[in-house]
Amino acid sequence: MREQLAGYIALQRLLDRRTALKRERDTPPEALTALRTQFAERHDKLEHARKRRETLQGEQASLQKEVEALREEREHFRKQKSQVTNMKQLSAVVSELDHVESQLKGKEDRLLEIWQELEGIDGDIATLGEESQEERTLREQAEATWEQGRKAAETELADVERDLRMVQRELGEAAMASFKKLWESRRPNAVVPIDGTGCSACHADLRPSLVQMVRTNEELQFCDHCRRLLYDPEQFQASA
């Protein structure tokens, strides 16, 4: 009976370890997650800034052409204005000139706005670029450390799986069937140590006679309250 109980305890501990290792393997450290997020955000901001710069540069180029054309037009009307021979011609040319001037002003104002926004974007891109260099080293180191930890967990996980198979074989089919039944209804803690005179899982106080039977472990004993299999931690140390 003691052997069977020892086997169950070993299974419970191996299953606990397996759960912990899987979590370790699948959960990157918070610091790394923060670095990854920071990197992704910076990357997105840079992308956004570069796209915006491209758009603005495109608008700038076409505006510059339009401004040049309008300036030529203005020159043309100014010459015409100096050559008019009557009031009717003069007012027609002045009206054309006004129209060109106002178009020109709108486009020149927009060009100035674009120029200012481009200055800001260039500054942002330079700042974002500078920071990413030192942070890249930090991030790559964190990634490498995490990768090592992940591999170590993976290796230990394989050992745990092997030990689990070994304990299962040693217990035999009948004992394994009872364990599985217990496990199905009480996972992830089916086999629990007593805590003084209480159950460490549900914290119920145990009958003194039950505590005594757990300590002598002649038979498998279950918590009256949560029906988990109990054992005395003094007799089954964690290293066992």
Q: Which is nearer to Zn ion, 6 or 194 (CB)?
A: 194
Q: Which is nearer to Zn ion, 18 or 227 (CB)?
A: 227
Q: Which is nearer to Zn ion, 46 or 202 (CB)?
A: 202
Beta carbons of 219 and 213 less than 8 angstroms apart: yes
Q: Which is nearer to Zn ion, 125 or 226 (CB)?
A: 226
User: Binding string to Zn ion for residues 181 to 200, with x set by CB under 5 A, is what?
Assistant: ------------------x-
Contact between 46 and Zn ion per CB under 5 A:
no
CA separation for the pair 4, 185 (Å, rounded) = 19
Q: Which is nearer to Zn ion, 110 or 215 (CB)?
A: 215
- Minimum distance, C-beta of residue 231 to Zn ion, in the bound complex (Å): 12
Tokens at residue 165, please? 């198979």
Using alpha carbons, list the distances in angstroms from residue 239 to 18, 187, 217, 233, 236: 16, 22, 19, 11, 8
Q: Which is nearer to Zn ion, 123 or 233 (CB)?
A: 233
- Minimum distance, C-beta of residue 217 to Zn ion, in the bound complex (Å): 17
- Minimum distance, C-beta of residue 4 to Zn ion, in the bound complex (Å): 20
User: Binding string to Zn ion for residues 199 to 238, with x set by CB under 5 A, is what?
Assistant: x-xx--------------------x-xx------------
Range 141-160, binding Zn ion (CB under 5 A)? none
Name the helix (H) or strand (E) containing 36: helix 30-83
Name the helix (H) or strand (E) containing 221: strand 221-222
**Three-state DSSP class for 35?**
helix
Length of the chain: 240
- Return all residues near 135 (Cβ < 8 A) that are at least 6 apart: 35, 38, 39, 42
Nearest alpha-carbon partner for 157 in 42, 20, 33: 20
For Zn ion (CB under 5 A), the number of binding residues is 6
Q: Which is nearer to Zn ion, 15 or 214 (CB)?
A: 214
- Minimum distance, C-beta of residue 181 to Zn ion, in the bound complex (Å): 17
- Minimum distance, C-beta of residue 203 to Zn ion, in the bound complex (Å): 7
CA separation for the pair 224, 222 (Å, rounded) = 6
- Minimum distance, C-beta of residue 191 to Zn ion, in the bound complex (Å): 11
- Minimum distance, C-beta of residue 211 to Zn ion, in the bound complex (Å): 12
- Return all residues near 13 (Cβ < 8 A) that are at least 6 apart: 238
**Binding positions for Zn ion, rule: CB under 5 A:** 199, 201-202, 223, 225-226
